[in-house]
Amino acid sequence: MGKYSFTTTTIGDLLDNPEAFALFAELVPEAIDHPLLEIGRPFTIEQALPFVENIAAEMGIDNVPARIADFKEKLESL
């Protein structure tokens, strides 16, 4: 198991680690400037997913489940 997990890694951990943030920026560039990103710092990625899915739908982002699965696989392999 890698050092990151959807169940234990917080959004803050993701934002503070250059390696994880680079992956996030590559796979979810639309979220980088979203105002709720900083508010989500204490949430694990898993806890934030319902909000992410709603925000993505509001923003008109397509293929969200596949993008989440791709991000999870790549993050957990770091």
Spatial separation of the C-alpha atoms in residues 41 and 2, rounded to whole Å: 20
Q: What integer is the mean pLDDT of 6-15? A: 95
Residue 69 scores a pLDDT above 90: yes
Angle in degrees, 0-180, between the axes of helices 64-76 and 18-27, rounded to the nearest 10: 160
The pTM assigned to this predicted structure is 0.86
DSSP letter, residue 4: -
| Residue extents of the structural domains in the chain | 11-76
Beta bridge partners of 44: 10
Residue 57 scores a pLDDT above 70: yes
**pLDDT at site 20:** 94
- H/E stretch holding 49: helix 45-59
**pLDDT at site 39:** 94
Residue 1 scores a pLDDT above 80: no
41: its two tokens: 């710092």
Q: What percentage of residues in the chain have a pLDDT greater than 70?
A: 99
